[in-house]
Amino acid sequence: MRRAFFFVALLPGCIFAQTASPAYTKTTYMIPMRDGKKLCTIVYTPKDKPGKHPILLQRTPYSVGPYDEGMRGLAGSKKFQEAGYIFAFQDVRGRWNSEGDFADVRPINPNPKGTETDEATDAYDTADFLVKTVPDNNGNIGVWGISYPGFYAGASAIRTHPAIKAVSPQAPVSDWFIGDDMHHNGAFFLQDSFDFFSGFGVVRPGPITKPIPGVPIDRKGANAYDFFLSTGAIPNFDKLHYQGRVPWWNQATAHSNYDAFWKARSLPPQMRGVNCAVLVVGGWFDAEDLWGALNLYRATDRQNPGRDVSLVMGPWSHGMWARQDGQFFNDLDFGQATSRFYQDEIEFPFFDRYLRGSNLPKAPEAYVFETGANQWHKFETWPPKGVRARSVYLDDERRLSNAAPRGGTEMEIGGDYRPGGLVYNPNGPLPGGLQFSFMRDPLSRMAGYYDLLRVDPSKPTPYQDNLGARRNSTYMVDDQRFAQYRLDVMDYSGPVLDKDWHVAGPIDVDFWVATTGTDMDLVVKVIDVWPDTEEGLAKSGRKRAGYQQLLRGDVFRCKFRESFSNPKPMIPGVPTRVKFRLPDVMHSFKKGHRLMIQVQSSWFPLVDRNPNVFLDIYKAKDSDFKPAVVSILRANRYPSKVTFLERS
């Protein structure tokens, strides 16, 4: 049925159109900010729902459309609509139909004065307008958003407007250098960044209501691995493809260290002055913003004592809790509709408690799904109380041990140790094309106390088997058997478990490495190895005997081992300690399964290639990339270990 379209009396500069819909009335406002710029905001108010109702607001850079007739699709529980909630969607400053200039992850101004603005002041001014203008609102606003809108939701809690009673940053963009989207531990997530900004990063000519074309990329039918490898060093991506049409790419790659540019765009340290309840939501298999959810929760909770701050972590990929029922991810079957449970039993009660004053229970500190065991848990703290650290060490014969290695003491090494005894040999290649030779002394005294990875930037280790043109989220649980027998991957396995083993919390990596180069990347993967007799995963229709399920993996750029702001070269042949943290898990390794740790030095094209040379990689030339040999040490003096928090 064709919907009626009509104009209403205008409030100067504010309301310009209204559309009728079956259950809601749609009104478009141009809301003035303190500096005079107006932000386009579409509000849906319920029909046939007498009384006063709360407002749910989302601020987004992805368009609040449709700008014509119709109603924007609403994610989340239907209980919000049944309860008569008012829904508001706003184009953030400089995006789509809003005025002003857009800035990616716009820095928060710690003390804005007068007409100075940031995303917190824009949220404040928006809330102030909505409660004073939208008919039949009850004076209470909740703010939510997933991914980039999650960043804006988090910012709305800073110096909170009195009407904003509850905020839910979900998979929030939080720090684009340390852990989200663009970088992990200083390593550039090349594939995600390039593909995303080829569309998102094109600057609009002015306020728009229709999409503008992104940068056309001619991949010539190549898969992702071949396309990114053939493009080469980072400067080539703008030169060959973007050609200056994506300003953010060049702006970001001008800052290769964690300098003031990146620090100003880190949201967690800014989460102060929060005067509302906060529910941070994330997914264990979120390939984009897993770090953001965990760390925004921690920072908000720590910096705002006495506030209701809660964490929800489910078995989801990015935003999966809002668009699927959540029973399956790839071949994994969780035995229940986890997303529907979250929407109806966690998200709706959270907002309804604070926005309508319902007697629904307060959210626990942490509402967390345990993968493997496939069950929800409520905790008073996260990580839960009573967990204890348990370290597993890399051992000989590619094993994992509960005890630190005994061999390779200083006496056995002989004092003048250069791990691996490796020197560059320009006169002739080793098998596989790597030009290195072995020193006989003191290598003979170190035999059995290190493992070698042959790292060749011209043939980087792929992050996924059978790579397509685009990255998919399933790599977060992919079978790792494709990498097991590569010369550039080393794996270490524990014994078959005689009972279930439960872990909950972050995973700490503490390795000793050496390289023939002056920089390297360290990729560590934690894997749940299914039994060889495993018949398959429920309803998957596929047998997965021996499935090596990636549970958690991440990369660390080793020049940042002491500081993300002040990188240091590695000294060839010298034992170097590298410590970093993998994002949290809550997982049950089932009886009959095994723990495996895989180690490698590239993860391409998910992560850009390290040239194995200490330099500004964003300015590297193709000729700068050199092969190297990496030693993974597992000696008494140089133990390499991974530490879990286990739960009884």
Q: Which of 219, 244, 263 is the last residue of a domain?
A: 263
Domain count, the chain: 3
Would you call 393 helix, strand, or coil by DSSP?
A: strand
* pLDDT, the chain, mean: 89
- In the prediction, which pLDDT does 155 show? 98
**Residues 419 and 373 both lie in one domain:** no
> What is the residue type of 500?
D
* Euclidean distance between CA atoms 501 and 193, whole angstroms: 36
Which residues, 6+ apart, have CB-to-CB distance to 139 below 8 Å? 52, 131, 163
Q: Which of 379, 412, 440 is the last residue of a domain?
A: 379
> What is the residue type of 96?
W
Q: In the chain, count of helices (H) and strands (E)?
A: 14, 29
Q: Which of 263, 295, 326 is the last residue of a domain?
A: 263
* Euclidean distance between CA atoms 399 and 310, whole angstroms: 39
Other Cβ atoms less than 10 A from the Cβ of 466: the count is 8
* Per-residue pLDDT reduced to its tens digit, 234-289: 999 999 999 999 999 999 999 999 999 999 999 999 999 999 999 999 999 999 99
* Per-residue pLDDT reduced to its tens digit, 494-505: 999 999 999 999
**Residues 516 and 636 both lie in one domain:** yes
**Residues 162 and 277 both lie in one domain:** yes
**Residues 334 and 430 both lie in one domain:** no
- In the prediction, which pLDDT does 428 show? 40
* Per-residue pLDDT reduced to its tens digit, 153-164: 999 999 999 999
- In the prediction, which pLDDT does 434 show? 40
- In the prediction, which pLDDT does 466 show? 80
* Euclidean distance between CA atoms 511 and 427, whole angstroms: 32
pLDDT(227) > 60? yes
Q: Pairing relation of β-strands 521-529 and 388-395?
A: unpaired
pLDDT(3) > 60? no
- In the prediction, which pLDDT does 69 show? 57
Confidence at 592, pLDDT banded by 50, 70, 90 = very high
**Residues 270 and 259 both lie in one domain:** no
**Residues 370 and 420 both lie in one domain:** no
What CA–CA distances, in Å, run from 134 to 144, 170, 303, 421, 536? Answer: 19, 26, 33, 73, 54
Residue 296 in tokens: 């925004």
Q: Residue 39 in contact with residue 51, Cβ under 8 Å?
A: no
Other Cβ atoms less than 10 A from the Cβ of 646: the count is 16
The secondary structure of the chain in percent helix, strand, coil, rounded to multiples of 5, reads 20, 30, 50
Phi, then psi, of 618 in degrees rounded to 5: -70, -15
CATH of the domain at 488: 2.60.120.260
Residue 568 in tokens: 């240091």
- In the prediction, which pLDDT does 249 show? 98
**Residues 345 and 414 both lie in one domain:** no
* Euclidean distance between CA atoms 639 and 385, whole angstroms: 28
Phi, then psi, of 347 in degrees rounded to 5: -65, -55
The stretch 3-32 carries a mean pLDDT of 56
**Residues 190 and 314 both lie in one domain:** no
CATH of the domain at 10: 3.40.50.1820
CATH of the domain at 221: 1.10.3020.10
Percent residues over pLDDT 90 in the chain = 82
pLDDT(33) > 80? yes
Q: What is the value of pTM for the model shown?
A: 0.91
- In the prediction, which pLDDT does 534 show? 58
**Residues 371 and 498 both lie in one domain:** no
Confidence at 115, pLDDT banded by 50, 70, 90 = very high
- In the prediction, which pLDDT does 533 show? 76
**Residues 258 and 117 both lie in one domain:** no
pLDDT(612) > 80? yes
Would you call 38 helix, strand, or coil by DSSP?
A: strand
* Per-residue pLDDT reduced to its tens digit, 307-337: 999 999 999 999 999 988 999 999 899 999 9
Domain membership of residue 214 as a residue range: 183-263
**Residues 481 and 443 both lie in one domain:** yes
Percent residues over pLDDT 70 in the chain = 87
429 or 557, which is more confident:
557
- In the prediction, which pLDDT does 538 show? 46
- In the prediction, which pLDDT does 12 show? 30
**Residues 311 and 417 both lie in one domain:** no
